[in-house]
Amino acid sequence: MELFAVSAAELGFQTDTARLADVYARARQLGFGLAAAEVAPQLRLQYFDQPMGEFLIAMEPIRTWKGDPVILAVANGGAGLVLIGQDGSADAEIPVASRFLFVRSNEAALAKAVRGGDEAATLGRR
């Protein structure tokens, strides 16, 4: 699996915000998948040189004990490196500048490239 950091704007959204469900649907159309919940905490443990101001949303939503969907963001807000939770409901409005961490298998990337277009090359592959 490869990880790709892509903003909602890079996925084609041109408004100030986009619904989380719409961002995920567009990513799936391009052959990307959602990262497992374990990716966010593991990334936080390994990503020490994260630029200040970067927030990466990095996962499939999970449920709180009350049943509310939550997504985790790996962030450097200036006060240090953090892992924070935020609304993960389908209707959550996310700023289009927010970056998402998606996954894609190497086989999917190869098949897409063979078919004549690898969007990852134009989407800010990390």
Cβ–Cβ under 8 Å, residues 73 and 89: no
Pairwise CA distance, residues 58 & 73, whole Å: 6
Token output for 122: 């134009």
- β-partners of residue 3 are 103
Count CB-CB contacts under 10 A for residue 126.
Answer: 12
Cβ–Cβ under 8 Å, residues 11 and 27: yes
Amino acid at the residue 22:
D
* pLDDT tens by residue, 44-64: 999 999 999 888 987 889 999
Cα torsion for 39, 87, 75, 97, to the nearest 10°? 110
pTM of the model: 0.78
- Beta strand extents in the chain (DSSP E only): 2-7, 17-19, 33-34, 55-57, 62-63, 69-76, 81-87, 93-95, 99-104
In degrees and rounded to multiples of 5, residue 65 shows phi and psi of -65, -20
Confidence of residue 76 (pLDDT cuts 50, 70, 90): very high
* pLDDT tens by residue, 80-102: 999 999 999 999 999 999 999 99
